[in-house]
Structure 1
Amino acid sequence: MSRNSAQSRSGGLDDLPGDLMMWVLIVSELLVFGAGLAAFLAVRITDPVGFAEAKAVLHPALAGTNTIVLITSGFFAARAVALRLLERRRAARWCLVAAMALGCVFVAIKTYEYVDLAGQGFSTETHPFFTFYYLLTGFHAVHVLAGILILALVAWKDTPRNMEVGTAFWHMVDLVWVLLFPVIYLLA
């Protein structure tokens, strides 16, 4: 078997955009968030009324807005990769700036939500719901901040490969929020 025929049939990991180590990070982060959501749901089963009462003080409209913000930022990140592959570097960078700006909007809205809830006296000690709420959404917010930094680095060193790697991380951040939002804010 020739080397070229072996390469053409390899598929799998060779077909992933970007870098294998970023995919290892993404999968491990998804597993961590998945474990957190599973724990949230398991504890919720033991106190559905308490979880429903605690959830009632959240801001689902703000969380819905944040969902739209992150999905839109993901569009701009994906658009940046497409533009960079077309050698439209300036436009690609502006799309990354738009994605980063929307990431900042997400963090600002989430910060407002935290400050408001804390002002009402809701902390990690109030109820297990809030322990999970602050843990899961806070961990996610840290990932948003990391993603903003990664996108800034990618805009600076804007090779097509770097853009694929950086935006893969950003899309993981989007995906996690799309899972967190309904479970934490909408689940009855």
Structure 2
Amino acid sequence: MMTGVATMSPICASVMAVFLPFRMHFARSFRSLLCAPTKRNRDRRSKTDPTKGDATMALETSLGNETKDDQLLLWILVWSELIAFGILILGFLVVSTYQIEAFDLARLHLRPGIAGANTLILLLSGYFVALAVRHRDDLSAVKRPLRLAAALGLCFVAVKLFEYGGELRFTTDATLGSFFELYFMITGFHLFHVFFGALALLLVAWRPAHENVRLVATLWHVIDLVWLVIFPILYLA
């Protein structure tokens, strides 16, 4: 990773130097959110008297605390994500004030029509996630909208990778390089979120639970919101 940063322009390398610690914090928060329920279940099994056979009572007793813990981890994750994106976007805006002509020229090589279509895809996926939340009391009814949302998320990934195919060559351009380095940092980080968010949607659809539907929906809506900020800044400014 350090080698990759060293080959960047000095300004882009500075942005990465600030961004990476938040990226690592995001990864730790995401891992904690995934692993915490498993750890709590293991701890609960170890503390429950096997002679009583009353796992249901133990589960009901600890459910309130578990929900609060999940909510705390969720918001740590969300704010870590927003701060990381904020650093990248702020870096992009600062650099753009020093390279106005180069950034305007670079935008001519983007394809806002494809990005606009991808925006509609992501918004439609958000609609299906909201539909799943609306019906989360009937777990059998949340599977289909979650799967559709995940499929649309993976469609977003495929379209974005297709778009990348015509843009990678500009990263080595002396004039356009700074724009496209930051462009790939921002959109690539977002693409990472969309891909793993789609996998999380599929996982919850496979084994739905009331609280998990709400948690994954919150994460997905944050991903949608971030793209609605990224899209006009990169493509339309």
TM-based fold match above 0.5: yes
2:124 to 72, 82, 95: 72
With structure 1 as the length reference, what TM-score do the two structures score? 0.85
Deviation at 1:124, TM superposition (A): 6.0
1:47 to 87, 91, 99: 99
Structure whose CA Rg is larger = 2
**Within 5 A, what are the aligned runs for 1:117-128?**
117-118=167-168, 121-123=169-171, 126-128=176-178
Does the CA contact (< 8 Å) of 1:66 and 1:106 recur in 2?
yes
Does the CA contact (< 8 Å) of 1:26 and 1:172 recur in 2?
yes
**Within 5 A, what are the aligned runs for 1:158-169?**
158-169=208-219
**Separation (CA, whole Å) in 1 of partners of 2:214 and 2:172:** 37
Task: Give percent identity, aligned residues only.
Answer: 41
**Separation (CA, whole Å) in 2 of partners of 1:167 and 1:39:** 29
CA RMSD of aligned residues (A): 1.6
Deviation at 1:175, TM superposition (A): 0.7
**Within 5 A, what are the aligned runs for 1:23-42?**
23-42=75-94
Does the CA contact (< 8 Å) of 2:128 and 2:146 recur in 1?
yes
Does the CA contact (< 8 Å) of 1:70 and 1:102 recur in 2?
yes
**Within 5 A, what are the aligned runs for 1:7-156?**
19-85=71-137, 87=138, 89-118=139-168, 121-123=169-171, 126-156=176-206
Query: Number of paired residues?
Result: 168
**Separation (CA, whole Å) in 2 of partners of 1:93 and 1:155:** 5
Deviation at 1:90, TM superposition (A): 2.9
With structure 2 as the length reference, what TM-score do the two structures score? 0.68
- Considering Cα pairs closer than 8 Å and 6+ residues apart, tell me whether 1 or 2 has the greater RCO: 1
Letter in 1 for 2:190: H
Query: Which ranges in structure 2 are unaligned for 5 or more consecutive residues?
Result: 1-67
Q: Give SS of 2:135's match.
A: helix
Letter in 2 for 1:133: Y
Match of 1:171 in 2: 221
Does the CA contact (< 8 Å) of 1:124 and 1:134 recur in 2?
no
